[in-house]
Amino acid sequence: MNVGLEHYLIVSTILFCLGLWGVIVRRNLLIIYMSLELMLNAANLALVAFSRYNNKMDGQVIVFFIITVAAAEVAVGLALIVALYRKKQSAHVEDLTTMKL
Amino acid sequence: MNDVLLNFPWFILFVPLVSALVITFFTKRNRGLSAGISIGAIVISFILSLILFVATGTDTVTSPKLSMDWLSVGNFIVDFGITIDPLSKLMLLIVTGVGSAIHIYSWGYMHEDRAVSRYFASLSLFTFSMLGIVLSNNFLQMFIFWELVGVSSYLLIGFWYERPPAADAAKKAFITNRLGDFGFLLGIIMVWSLLGSLNFTVLQEVIVNNPAALGGLATVVGLLLFCGAVGKSAQFPLHVWLPDAMEGPTPVSALIHAATMVAAGVYMLCRVYFLLNLSDSFALEVIGWVGGLTALLAALIAVQQNDIKRILAYSTLSQLGLMVMAVGAHQPVAGMFHLTTHAFFKALLFLGAGSVIHALHHEQDIWKMGGLKKKMPVTFWTFLIGTLALSGVPPFSGFYSKDFVLSAAYDANIGLFVIGVIVSVLTTFYMFRLFFVAFLGHPKSESAEHAHESPKVMTVPLQFLTVLSVVGGLIGVNHYVAKAKVFPGSEHHFPWYAEFIAPIVHAPVAALFGIFAVVVGFTVAYKFYAGAQRDPLPGKLGALSRAMRGRFYFDEIYSALIFMTHEAVAKLADAIDRWIIAGLLVRGTHGTTELFGRALRLVQTGNLQTYAFLIVAGVAVVLFYVLFR
């Protein structure tokens, strides 16, 4: 079987949907955060696939940048979660409803 | 026609205005001087009118000097101009001639009044406005003077404004007239939009070149214009203001509410007759019947009134009805003829009544008069001649004009003719009732016993008008006015001595019925009222008499109707305000906003994941829309 662009895209879509599912359904902030990373990587995968399909390196270069920025973002995000945990003694989204008026 | 003569109409028109202004601003304190200025102004106008009349005869004068541009907005052009044709010259003579007599008489009648300057200023203002209507050469100018006449009438009816009935009557007259004027204005606007001009000469050319220019709206336009006449000439159903207008001073009643202003409606109908007399218009039929109905109703009411001025007021209404009926019977010349003679003898009758009222210290009830023949001979004889003229006794003027009206009605519609004859019978009846009760028999009150003749300043105008009332039918008014170009067709002329018998030769049926009506009316009046101390009619007629005395309850019906209309409109406005504006709009907006707010609040859970889900759902919808549509 010949593996083509659409297969990569399908995998990417599945990964994205799994990540989205995790973000919407899971309660633990850390798990949600991991799911977000999953969605990000699904996008990365799609970029790489398109890059390969078009025989250009632009997409792969962008992916490197995304991974770099994502690493920084993860550091900031984890720091925020730790700070929040210290304040609220909880990492569950039900306890974080300060956005409600 | 030379240039000097062309300036005359402007002088005739503006001298009374100058008089009104001078009196108002400068001579208010000097009563005698004010009266002199006002009398002088109208006499000057009269003399100038006479010269103009003699110099131009039956000519219709047109000259650029008689008109000037007044307004021009786009293609809406109005000039301020003057019409000189037999129709307007006749009216000029009536207004200034009868007006002069009444102005002079007023000085005698009013000289004890403290506000006599204000009286003469208003009278001059009225003369100016009335001459303005007569001389106007276009609709807009006429309408403005029409309103000015309404204002001066208001001022004069309410002259004794400290008396509530006079103030009320003034308001009633003004407001009732406004109703008619509203229709008149609509008619003028329609004429302009359909025919593109307001100038009478231009309009007539348009109509002559294209008789169907008004199209299917001919009847509507005619009736709207007639609305103006209904108001001003007090035709049914707007006739209620005229009897109340008798609250004003008696000379005012004579000048404005008998001889001139109320005739303005008839004059206007004659002036625009070419707009009414169209083959596809039914306006004239309606006009004829409205006139006939007014004449009949008013004559019936007059039979059972006891106030001398009110009898004359209803008589005026009735005669105005006859004039309007004549116009409706396709014979405006008859209307103008009757207008002229009526101006003479009705002014005479009112002034005579004023003389009696003056002598009896403002007693107006005819059942408190009587026995005046010896004490007031001049008033007695002049009043008798006025009565004979109004009743239509040959050879007095009323006979000829009324005969002309009757023959016009006979040619047009037998129903109108019958009404005309009945009105003639009633006219003779109520006039001789008035005459027998008020002038003959024994004095019926203290003041009647001590009555004495009025001063010369009052009796001379009476004699002047008496002469006119006698000869008014024979001097050829009808032939003169028939020369006006606004009337189709011309009339053959015959020598003056033939005028005596002209009615019998030309329309024997109408003439005979006219004389028959006089005889019947006189006989019945003589039988009931010669030497009567009390009115025998209420006993004989019962409810009908009460209805006549109550003026067929028009005022009561109108006030009930107005009350009901007000109430209905108020209820409607209240309902609209309560349910639509306050309910639907104000509370609706507030309610809808609040409802949406409540609904949208449910979405704001504060739960991060719900927001995330909604964002994704939104993105999905947008994607779906972009990709698959």
Mutation site, B608, B613, B619, interface A, largest A CB count within 10 A: B608
- Provide the pLDDT confidence category of residue A71 given band limits of 50, 70 and 90: very high
Give the tens place of pLDDT for each residue, B269-289: 888 888 888 877 788 888 899
Average the pLDDT over B223-239 and give the result. Answer: 87
Q: Identify whether A87 is part of a domain.
A: yes
Indicate yes or no: CB of A20 within 8 angstroms of CB of B616: yes
**Total structural domains in chain A?**
1
Average pLDDT over residues B193-214: 83
Average pLDDT over residues B60-87: 81
Residue B250 has pLDDT above 90, yes or no: no
Contacting residues for B120 by C-beta, under 8 A, at least 6 apart? B19, B23, B34, B35, B37, B38, B39, B103, B106
- The CA distance from A78 to the nearest CA of chain B, in Å, is 17
According to the model, what pLDDT value does residue A9 have?
Answer: 93
Could you tell me the two tokens for B576? 């609209």
**B26/B543: higher pLDDT:** B26
- Mind listing the pLDDT tens digit for each residue in B529-553? 777 777 777 767 777 777 777 777 7
User: Among B598, B607, B611, B627, which would you mutate to test the A interface (most chain A Cβ atoms within 10 Å of its Cβ)?
Assistant: B607
Q: What's the pLDDT at B505?
A: 66
pLDDT computed for residue B524 by the predictor: 84
What is the ipTM metric for this complex?
0.80
Q: Out of A23, A94, A101, whose CB is closest to B612?
A: A23
Both tokens of B355, joined, read 């003389």
* Res. B490: pLDDT tops 50: no
- Check whether B573 has a pLDDT greater than 90: yes
Report pLDDT for B391: 87
Which CB contacts under 8 angstroms, 24+ apart, belong to B64-73?
B65/B3, B65/B6, B65/B7, B66/B6, B66/B9, B66/B137, B67/B137, B70/B141, B71/B140
The per-residue DSSP string of B184-213 comes to HHHHHHHHHHHHS--BHHHHHHHHHH-TTT
**Mean pLDDT, chain B, whole residue set:** 84
**Contact (CB<8Å) B608/A93:** yes
pLDDT of residue A78: 92
Contact B606 A99 (CB under 8 A): yes
Put simply, the answer to whether A93 touches B609 (Cβ < 8 Å) is yes
pLDDT-derived band at B219, boundaries 50, 70, 90: confident
Percent of chain B with pLDDT over 90: 14
Residue A79 has pLDDT above 60, yes or no: yes
Whole-angstrom Cα distance, residue B533 to residue B588?
74
Residues in chain B: 629
User: Inter-chain contact B604–A96, Cβ cutoff 8 Å?
Assistant: no
Q: Residue type at B204?
A: Q
Domain that residue A69 falls in: 5-96
- Looking at beta carbons, which residues of chain B come within 8 Å of A99? 606, 608, 611
> B5-15: per-residue pLDDT in tens?
888 888 888 99
- Band of residue B372 on the pLDDT scale cut at 50, 70, 90: confident
pLDDT, tens digit, for every residue of B128-186?
A: 999 999 988 888 899 999 999 999 999 988 888 888 888 888 998 898 898 889 999 99
CATH (domain of A43): 1.10.287.3510
The answer to whether position A70 is within a domain reads yes
* Interface residues on A facing B, Cβ-Cβ cutoff 8 A: 20, 23-25, 32, 93-94, 96-101
Of all residues in chain A, the percent with pLDDT exceeding 90 is: 56
**How close is the nearest chain B Cα to the Cα of A23, in Å?**
7
Q: What confidence score (pLDDT) does residue A41 get?
A: 92
Round to whole Å and give the CA distance between B87 and B482.
8
Average pLDDT rounded to a whole number, residues B295-309: 88
User: Has residue A67 got a pLDDT over 50?
Assistant: yes
pLDDT at B504: 66
* In the predicted structure, residue B213 carries a pLDDT above the cut 80: no
B24 pLDDT above the threshold of 90: no
User: B624 falls in which pLDDT band (50, 70, 90)?
Assistant: very high
Q: How far is A35 from chain B (nearest CA, A)?
A: 12
| Residue B482 pLDDT exceeds 90 | no
Instruction: Look at residue A101 and tell me if it is in a domain.
Output: no
pLDDT at B494: 47
A62: confidence class by pLDDT, cuts 50, 70, 90: very high
Nearest residue, CB atoms, B606 vs list A20, A32, A100? A100
Which positions in chain B touch A101 (Cβ < 8 Å)? 604, 606
What is the rounded average pLDDT of the residues B117-136?
Answer: 90
Model pLDDT, residue B555: 79
The structure's pTM equals 0.77
Nearest-CA residue of chain B relative to A95? B607
Question: Would you state the pLDDT for residue B88?
Answer: 87
At B253-274, the pLDDT tens digits run 888 888 888 888 889 988 888 8
Q: Residue B570 pLDDT more than 90?
A: yes
B613: chain A residues, CB-CB within 8 Å? 24
Look at A100 and B605 and tell me if their CB atoms are within 8 Å: yes
Contact between chains at B609 and A101 (C-beta distance less than 8 A)? no
B604/A23 CB distance under 8 A? no
Chain A contact set for B609 (CB, 8 A) = 23-25, 32, 93
Model confidence band, residue B492 (pLDDT cutoffs 50, 70, 90): very low
- pLDDT at B413 > cutoff 50: yes
Residue A55 forms part of a structural domain: yes
**Among B126, B60, B71, which residue's Cα sits nearest to residue B95?**
B126
Res B576: pLDDT: 92
* Residues in chain B whose Cβ is within 8 Å of chain A: 604-609, 611-613, 616
Answer whether residue A72 shows pLDDT above 90.
Answer: yes
> B424-465 pLDDT, tens per residue?
999 998 888 888 888 887 777 777 777 777 788 888 888 888
How far is C-alpha B264 from the chain's CA centre?
Answer: 6
d(CA B134, CA B145): 9
Count helices and strands (H / E) in chain B.
Answer: 29, 2
- How many helices and strands in chain A, by DSSP H and E? 3, 0
In this model, does residue B495 exceed pLDDT 60? no
